[in-house]
Protein backbone atom coordinates (compact mmCIF):
# COMPACT_ATOMS: atom_id res chain seq x y z
CA UNK A 1 0.00 0.00 0.00
CA UNK A 2 1.06 3.57 -0.62
CA UNK A 3 0.93 5.43 2.70
CA UNK A 4 -0.11 9.08 2.68
CA UNK A 5 1.00 11.25 5.60
CA UNK A 6 -0.39 14.72 6.13
CA UNK A 7 0.97 17.49 8.29
CA UNK A 8 -0.01 19.12 10.45
CA UNK A 9 -2.83 17.01 11.87
CA UNK A 10 -4.60 20.16 12.92
CA UNK A 11 -4.07 23.88 12.72
CA UNK A 12 -5.74 27.09 13.68
CA UNK A 13 -5.44 30.22 11.57
CA UNK A 14 -7.05 33.61 11.18
CA UNK A 15 -9.14 34.98 8.36
CA UNK A 16 -6.84 36.33 5.68
CA UNK A 17 -3.92 34.06 6.59
CA UNK A 18 -2.04 32.00 4.05
CA UNK A 19 -2.38 28.35 5.01
CA UNK A 20 -0.33 25.41 3.77
CA UNK A 21 -1.04 21.72 4.31
CA UNK A 22 1.47 19.12 3.22
CA UNK A 23 1.04 15.54 2.11
CA UNK A 24 3.85 13.03 1.67
CA UNK A 25 3.57 9.71 -0.16
CA UNK A 26 5.55 6.65 0.86
CA UNK A 27 6.69 6.25 -2.75
CA UNK A 28 6.59 8.34 -5.89
CA UNK A 29 3.06 8.87 -7.19
CA UNK A 30 3.90 11.29 -10.02
CA UNK A 31 1.05 13.82 -9.98
CA UNK A 32 -1.71 11.36 -9.03
CA UNK A 33 -2.71 13.38 -5.99
CA UNK A 34 -6.08 14.88 -5.15
CA UNK A 35 -7.28 17.12 -2.33
CA UNK A 36 -10.70 17.16 -0.66
CA UNK A 37 -12.43 19.33 1.92
CA UNK A 38 -14.92 17.77 4.32
CA UNK A 39 -17.36 19.62 6.53
CA UNK A 40 -18.91 17.88 9.57
CA UNK A 41 -21.71 15.53 8.56
CA UNK A 42 -21.05 16.05 4.84
CA UNK A 43 -19.36 14.12 2.07
CA UNK A 44 -15.89 15.20 0.99
CA UNK A 45 -15.71 17.79 -1.77
CA UNK A 46 -13.07 17.66 -4.49
CA UNK A 47 -10.84 20.76 -4.51
CA UNK A 48 -7.75 19.87 -6.52
CA UNK A 49 -7.01 16.95 -8.84
CA UNK A 50 -3.83 15.86 -10.58
CA UNK A 51 -1.85 17.71 -7.89
CA UNK A 52 -2.49 21.21 -9.23
CA UNK A 53 -5.70 21.35 -11.27
CA UNK A 54 -8.51 23.34 -9.69
CA UNK A 55 -11.87 21.60 -9.78
CA UNK A 56 -14.62 23.58 -11.47
CA UNK A 57 -16.43 25.89 -9.05
CA UNK A 58 -13.70 25.86 -6.40
CA UNK A 59 -12.46 29.32 -5.37
CA UNK A 60 -9.12 30.35 -6.83
CA UNK A 61 -7.64 30.92 -3.36
CA UNK A 62 -7.12 27.15 -3.28
CA UNK A 63 -4.06 25.83 -5.09
CA UNK A 64 -2.03 22.67 -5.16
CA UNK A 65 1.54 21.86 -6.06
CA UNK A 66 4.08 19.09 -5.98
CA UNK A 67 4.98 15.85 -7.69
CA UNK A 68 6.70 12.63 -6.80
CA UNK A 69 6.33 12.25 -3.05
CA UNK A 70 5.76 15.75 -1.68
CA UNK A 71 2.65 17.85 -2.20
CA UNK A 72 1.08 20.98 -0.76
CA UNK A 73 -2.37 22.48 -0.61
CA UNK A 74 -2.35 26.23 -0.14
CA UNK A 75 -5.18 28.56 0.77
CA UNK A 76 -3.94 32.01 -0.17
CA UNK A 77 -6.32 34.05 1.99
CA UNK A 78 -8.26 32.03 4.53
CA UNK A 79 -12.02 32.60 4.66
CA UNK A 80 -14.43 31.62 7.47
CA UNK A 81 -16.07 28.99 5.25
CA UNK A 82 -12.74 27.18 4.80
CA UNK A 83 -12.97 25.47 8.18
CA UNK A 84 -13.16 21.71 7.99
CA UNK A 85 -10.97 18.69 7.48
CA UNK A 86 -8.75 18.36 4.43
CA UNK A 87 -7.68 15.03 2.95
CA UNK A 88 -5.15 14.14 0.32
CA UNK A 89 -5.71 11.02 -1.79
CA UNK A 90 -3.41 9.15 -4.15
CA UNK A 91 -4.70 7.43 -7.26
CA UNK A 92 -1.35 6.23 -8.63
CA UNK A 93 -2.05 2.77 -7.30
CA UNK A 94 -5.24 0.85 -7.99
CA UNK A 95 -5.41 0.58 -4.19
CA UNK A 96 -6.55 4.13 -3.52
CA UNK A 97 -5.48 5.55 -0.18
CA UNK A 98 -6.14 8.76 1.73
CA UNK A 99 -4.12 10.78 4.17
CA UNK A 100 -5.28 10.86 7.77
CA UNK A 101 -6.69 14.36 7.43
CA UNK A 102 -5.83 17.88 8.59
CA UNK A 103 -8.38 19.70 10.70
CA UNK A 104 -8.43 23.42 9.99
CA UNK A 105 -9.98 25.76 12.53
CA UNK A 106 -10.63 29.43 12.05
CA UNK A 107 -9.49 31.56 15.02
Residues of this chain that interact with other proteins (CB under 8 A) are: 31-32, 34, 36, 42-46, 49-50, 53, 55, 87, 89, 91, 94-101
Per the CB < 8 A criterion, the answer to whether 65 and 72 are in contact is yes
Report the residue number, 22 or 98, with the smaller CB distance to other proteins: 98
> CA-based Rg of the chain, rounded to a whole angstrom?
13
Q: Nearest-5° angle of CA 62, CA 64, CA 67?
A: 175
Query: Quick check: helix, strand or coil at residue 34?
Result: strand
Least Å distance between CB 16 and other proteins?
29
Report the residue number, 27 or 77, with the smaller CB distance to other proteins: 27
Least Å distance between CB 68 and other proteins?
16
Least Å distance between CB 62 and other proteins?
14
Cα separation, 28 vs 12, in Å, equals 30
Amino acid sequence: DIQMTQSPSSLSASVGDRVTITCRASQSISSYLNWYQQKPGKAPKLLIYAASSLQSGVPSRFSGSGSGTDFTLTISSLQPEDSGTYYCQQSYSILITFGQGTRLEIK
